[in-house]
Structure 1
């Protein structure tokens, strides 16, 4: 280890391990170090010894701290600043990739499409930095890194920090030709005339001149003025016009040649006046009607699928252009090309497209261990943003300027630069699960959901403000003018359970607080609302046609729905949608949900191996809950095999499933009466979850419960005259209720049996002897002794406590009343079915479900004397991007 490396290690301290030196000499020595606590690599740049005085270090520190405020996808952020023996250094993330200098050394010049893509990324970085008052002053190929097809600019603010820190001593002042301290000879090839003359009033237009020099080299393979003689190069920058780029490369498109030569004008007033102007010119070149369409790059190991408008229409149905109609409303969108952005063999969810449409952020992995990634739409590898954070991460949301991403993680909402780097917790809520964050249009506030409702909070801090009090609301998003928040009312498990198909409605609430109102009915699933830029319609995902598709809901100026949502796709299977700032592109996750019933034998001699399970039902369907008849002949379950969720029964000896309901609304959670002659279930056909009973052949339907509450999962008492269910009053937690019918067959009023508060009592099952009701909450499994009157201070006997074995998902009884079976789901420990005595004590393992699929969607499993029945999910999710075009007026 060199002396310099050793000294740097001592300065960084035990939290870092300096691994190697990338290069030395010139303006800096560059090292790679591992930040051990976060497991990430950083770059450390140490300035040479002739820069070192106490005064220079302090000035250097101030300038670097100012530049460290920059946060943009195309800027490598500065992380920290320090000193080693009086020599200043700064740190930044280690970016895997290749500098443009290395590329040019190998390729000499770049293709037009690659040049425009790189220049656009650099221009976007300059636009952001200049808006923040930071001028780079050293734009050159050496300071641009291409990683995964994305160009990022490094060393922002360093040149000014070097200049202002320079107080050379007589004995060690560096080369005599240095006028801007630390600049090597090659840098003079990109120096603006005002830099060459030492003008004191340097501004952002100097960067545009250097940008022009770099663009000139990317296209022609030569800098405007060859740096073989320092003085002549400086004079040429000030007085000599460069050779027109088209004379060196005749096929340069005229628009691109004109832009480059404008950037190389001697007078700052004759150049583009800001980087946004350059960016706009480059964007015009990359439009389908511009001078030069962009070539989509191939990506190693992946085939990118571009589908024309005709193919897209065939795949997702007929749709129309977003344009103001004659009635002042909005007409639907027309689809352009589509491209698959991700195709890894894992879940890839929560697609969020950047405001400019060039990047997509998403959550990927397995349930319970998801991470946030960013990927360029046009290709390239994905960049991990949240690997350093424990737990599972969801819901990435772009800030309006595209510089940052918010996402949810353990105990809060986190914010990270879109390029990666340090992760900050913007909202801390220990013990609560926060979901679906979104930014306000000005980027100053976040809106999000938890189990209490919808909240908004300033990014800078302060107390959160509750906008909606609702147990299962989620997916809030600000309107373009910031005055309203649209959100999903009900079915928060659509997020937590990844695609739960329970019904929900789209609602809006004033962003300043006030009364909310629903925009859609709650008879079907509605999710992922996104405002169009004019605020006159919402795009959303719904299953109104049986399959999750994209719909558009047109709104009047006072935000009243103009009829029912218009279906934009057919059979797409979308999970969520996201729009660019101008609605020219849409990102969406396609989620293919599949879960079927499996059966395994029960053993008293030890756990049943998972290899003993066999699949009973087949097909592309979702089954959530099931029951077995007391005679062991029939399996009863809910399934969406015919479109929406209906009730089916199937002989356990084989044969085809028999549909018992065929409603357009969803039916769930069926259970046989003890004599097998009736079936109870719950349905949303009346707009809320209500209990129903029908004959075992599907006839003679009777409604059991009604009202504003939500009633779930009925279970029969042994006498066949009572039902236990979990229910809620509006805005309340779920509790266990019972309801009985009289001799005339009329059902009475429900009686509340548990008083669990906020623990959510659910998945209740009546014991075969009628004495107990077993139920689960967030603390484990409890028994309700029906021989004891229900009181608010008597909630039952706890027989399984805590989450040491994983969260309890459901409970069941065998044919006896001595043991309660329960199912646990834990992403790290695995999934299992266990049994525990009604007297409590240690539980026994019945069966592990490891490696057979995740069980998060199981809402009810079934046990008889010989077998256990359960459903396993085999889901897939990928990310796509679709162009949205405006049709004729």
Structure 2
């Protein structure tokens, strides 16, 4: 075709001025030209002579009229077509930009949102064309242009004309389509190609945008076609765990071998990509990877046809052997998805997890792998992380600071201990449980109940043991030593024979001993590492190597996974690190009625830090709020109800827990990790001032008395005691250092709240084994003490009148108690105002009150969840034979 350009230049001189060749494909050559009449740049596609001869000029010009009438925002339009000096051509706009192929070549894998958006736009174009009787037949990355943020499908101009050529085109050895993106029926040369063939090709493109490779690859076209016809796609989630499970399910549906098993229309494909519950609605098995998993009937049907065609065209082929490890995306019915910790029975047959409940407290669910739906367990509201007994018959969990067990099939719960922190006990194979007690000692109790033995206490450096995992033979346990609300953590081993502990890894979120002889642990970045472990010496034998990546961290801290003794792993995949939920501010009156403060504004809260704090200004017209943005955790000021939002802090550190000064002119806040309380004018003028530096103390909150004379401080991991939390006071200009307020107490205290007149301190303490609300005189706290709540409570808050105290009980009821002017010696009756509705934010309420009250005491300002963010949009993956994968990477028995 070396003489094409001069011949075309001469033949089209009255209409187009050809400039240069842009590229060549299997069907045509593309030239850049100037449309003389309309003074615009265009792309002219000239069919290869052998293709033009097969189609014929008359047929081409007739059929292309249909595609010329396709007018859609995501279809590259057809400007012109015709015959010039024996060449068939058609004219399209020249688009500045790139193709999807260009972007894949540059980025390898596209962001999930971008890939889904491109696919959705292409699906809209295909659906429109299909409804007008046009099948594209050659959807591939090269035919999808990206211009001004939108996708444009090219080459509809040739589709219908080529399709009518029928068998004459096959006789030339040419075919419309590209092997990597051909549907099985197209690869087999079937005459009747439907819209579902385009759906298949689009699924291939999305697969490649997400994973970096097409579903099927090979060294030759013959090898690719062989795999297209007989094999199933490689799993997507193992290649990239951040792919949402519903997206994988939609892609796999589009890639079904039989057209009848795919989406009926491209529009249905797009709808599935937008439907986060799609995985629970489809019967398509997710991430099936080996030929041995395919239906024998399907293999027989496609296999016989494939042998006939491929033997004639390309010769014999042999499929790859099956892989030893299988991964499946797990879908859950609507309203049954896990929203907390997961556990699995030793034989891998049952999944136990924290899930939703009608009242918003959450409850335990049990899902049998043979059943689609899960079953809630009555009597398990507000549970702590569950574990399953070694015999698979019982579940241990914490509830209201009690350690309990319940039959896995349902029944009455049995209390084993009255003092439990609730962070993943370890069920040893001798019939005892190790668990974290209130006060942070490790206790050991029989699974039949009875006396508790304290086996270990943390030293005076602070922190506490959480997330326990058993060692075989009741030798001991692995646990995480947490400091600063688990923002810092390390992995330790406890030897029950000697009572000694040893640090294994300085930076780890949670760890386990694997039956194959390794210690596995997850880091803060969501990566899992493993190393051989000597059970006799309790020592790590070699350098850890990575075995999993991109694990989702529940609450931004805890990896959400569990495994059976048979090697079945259940894990929640996603971006490592902090997870976020989108919230809005609401007013909640004393009857529980909720009213949105500003419907045009919402914000995200880090589930990692839980509630980073907000408080109303003294006049109730502004709110200081800690927000999680892409720039970090900072303090912002919002004018209420619908006024502007202005940023108060800008540095790279994390600021949180804002509190107004009594005059309403400034805001104080904590600088995370700096043990520092700082202050800045609320209007953003002036510089940040240091109010108090507290080296050696884990400062978590600081609030002012109404007269501005006192600061109430909440700390964690106080080096003076074994307590995790404590309350201190500081008088600026008077005290040289903070003073412990409740030095006579051995319990943990938090959530301090000072009455408006400064005479009474409300706070929470776990001195009874569970958090309750108390009142003491201030500052002479040892002059009296009155217990306000009786059945568990958190988040005390004084009314501005000083005559009422609000708090939330263990059943999420907003309670109020009258406090006489003379003091709390004769408290009024406790009254329930309302039950906090689903979505109202109570994270970390045992440490910090996550709401405020209006100046007239008639309503509360709270955060309500709008969308659950990545934490609740769960991507759970089931991995079979996972231990084999670990052994292959690490070594083991």
Give me the whole-angstrom Cα distance separating, in 1, the residues matched to 2:809 and 2:840: 8
Q: 1:346 to 1:381 in 2, by over 3 A?
A: closer
Q: 1:699 to 1:380 in 2, by over 3 A?
A: same
Residues 1:649 and 2:637 are matched in the alignment: yes
Count residues in correspondence.
529
Contact in 1 for aligned 2:729/2:739 (Cα 8 Å): yes
State the Cα distance separating 1:428 from its structure 2 match.
2.5
Contact in 1 for aligned 2:355/2:365 (Cα 8 Å): yes
1:450 corresponds in structure 2 to: 437
2:549 corresponds in structure 1 to: 568
Give me the whole-angstrom Cα distance separating, in 2, the residues matched to 1:782 and 1:460: 38
Secondary structure of 1:487's partner? strand
The correspondence for 1:627, drawn from 600, 615, 622, is 615
2:775 corresponds in structure 1 to: 782
**Structural mapping, 1:517-556, within 5 Å:** 517-518=502-503, 527-540=509-522, 542=524, 544=525, 549=526, 551-552=528-529
Contact in 2 for aligned 1:530/1:579 (Cα 8 Å): no
1:618 corresponds in structure 2 to: 602
Give me the whole-angstrom Cα distance separating, in 1, the residues matched to 2:598 and 2:455: 46
Describe the superposition over 1:616-673 as per-residue Cα deviations: whole angstroms up to 9, x where unpaired.
7513424452112335453212233438644333333523452625546x54322122
Q: 1:742 to 1:536 in 2, by over 3 A?
A: farther
**Structural mapping, 1:70-219, within 5 Å:** none
Describe the superposition over 1:469-528 as per-residue Cα deviations: whole angstroms up to 9, x where unpaired.
2585332112357544222334898xxxxxxx8655443332335344555668xxx654
Contact in 1 for aligned 2:332/2:373 (Cα 8 Å): no
State the Cα distance separating 1:578 from its structure 2 match.
0.9
**Structural mapping, 1:377-776, within 5 Å:** 377=369, 379-383=371-375, 386-387=377-378, 389=379, 393-402=383-392, 404-408=394-398, 413-415=403-405, 418=408, 420=409, 425=414, 428-430=416-418, 436-440=424-428, 442-452=429-439, 453-459=441-447, 463-470=451-458, 472-480=464-472, 482-490=474-482, 504-518=489-503, 527-540=509-522, 542=524, 544=525, 549=526, 551-552=528-529, 558-559=539-540, 568-569=549-550, 576-581=560-565, 583-588=567-572, 594=581, 596=583, 598-600=585-587, 607=590, 610-612=593-595, 614=597, 618-622=602-606, 623-630=611-618, 632-642=620-630, 645-652=633-640, 653-656=642-645, 658=647, 660=649, 662-663=651-652, 667-676=655-664, 678-685=666-673, 690-696=675-681, 697=684, 699-700=687-688, 702=690, 704-706=692-694, 708-718=696-706, 720=708, 722-727=710-715, 728=718, 729-732=720-723, 734-742=725-733, 748-755=736-743, 757=745, 760-776=748-764
Give me the whole-angstrom Cα distance separating, in 2, the residues matched to 1:626 and 1:680: 11
2:351 corresponds in structure 1 to: 360
Q: 1:407 to 1:571 in 2, by over 3 A?
A: closer
Of 877-886 and 748-757, more deviation after overlay is shown by 877-886
Secondary structure of 2:560's partner? strand
Give me the whole-angstrom Cα distance separating, in 2, the residues matched to 1:843 and 1:770: 23
Contact in 2 for aligned 1:736/1:753 (Cα 8 Å): yes
Contact in 2 for aligned 1:775/1:782 (Cα 8 Å): yes
Q: 1:612 to 1:833 in 2, by over 3 A?
A: farther
User: Aligned-pair RMSD on alpha carbons?
Assistant: 4.6
The correspondence for 2:366, drawn from 374, 391, 404, is 374
Q: 1:302 to 1:713 in 2, by over 3 A?
A: same
Give me the whole-angstrom Cα distance separating, in 1, the residues matched to 2:454 and 2:722: 14
Describe the superposition over 1:813-850 as per-residue Cα deviations: whole angstroms up to 9, x where unpaired.
52x5x3354231442x7335676455444369796354
State the Cα distance separating 1:351 from its structure 2 match.
1.1
2:330 corresponds in structure 1 to: 340
1:303 corresponds in structure 2 to: 282
The correspondence for 1:848, drawn from 808, 828, 834, is 834
Secondary structure of 2:618's partner? coil
Structure 1 unaligned blocks of 5 or more: 1-297, 311-333, 494-500
Contact in 2 for aligned 1:454/1:476 (Cα 8 Å): no
Give me the whole-angstrom Cα distance separating, in 1, the residues matched to 2:542 and 2:677: 31
Describe the superposition over 1:583-613 as per-residue Cα deviations: whole angstroms up to 9, x where unpaired.
45233498976363534387xxxx4551445
Q: 1:695 to 1:656 in 2, by over 3 A?
A: closer
Contact in 2 for aligned 1:399/1:443 (Cα 8 Å): no
Q: 1:873 to 1:551 in 2, by over 3 A?
A: farther
Contact in 2 for aligned 1:646/1:659 (Cα 8 Å): yes
State the Cα distance separating 1:345 from its structure 2 match.
1.8
Q: 1:848 to 1:615 in 2, by over 3 A?
A: farther
Residues 1:830 and 2:813 are matched in the alignment: yes
Residues 1:880 and 2:880 are matched in the alignment: no
Secondary structure of 1:851's partner? coil
Give me the whole-angstrom Cα distance separating, in 1, the residues matched to 2:279 and 2:625: 45
Secondary structure of 1:598's partner? strand
1:809 corresponds in structure 2 to: 795
Contact in 1 for aligned 2:723/2:748 (Cα 8 Å): no
Give me the whole-angstrom Cα distance separating, in 2, the residues matched to 1:596 and 1:843: 34
Contact in 1 for aligned 2:527/2:546 (Cα 8 Å): no
TM, length-normalised to structure 1: 0.50
Contact in 2 for aligned 1:627/1:635 (Cα 8 Å): yes
Give me the whole-angstrom Cα distance separating, in 1, the residues matched to 2:390 and 2:778: 55
Give me the whole-angstrom Cα distance separating, in 2, the residues matched to 1:648 and 1:579: 43
Give me the whole-angstrom Cα distance separating, in 1, the residues matched to 2:743 and 2:889: 60
Q: 1:346 to 1:528 in 2, by over 3 A?
A: farther
Q: 1:458 to 1:399 in 2, by over 3 A?
A: same
Contact in 1 for aligned 2:762/2:773 (Cα 8 Å): no
Give me the whole-angstrom Cα distance separating, in 2, the residues matched to 1:647 and 1:553: 39
Contact in 1 for aligned 2:397/2:422 (Cα 8 Å): no
Contact in 2 for aligned 1:759/1:779 (Cα 8 Å): no
Contact in 1 for aligned 2:813/2:832 (Cα 8 Å): no
Structure 2 unaligned blocks of 5 or more: 1-276, 290-323, 766-770
Give me the whole-angstrom Cα distance separating, in 2, the residues matched to 1:443 and 1:464: 15
Q: 1:518 to 1:709 in 2, by over 3 A?
A: farther
Give me the whole-angstrom Cα distance separating, in 2, the residues matched to 1:587 and 1:831: 36
Contact in 2 for aligned 1:586/1:881 (Cα 8 Å): yes
Q: 1:466 to 1:877 in 2, by over 3 A?
A: farther
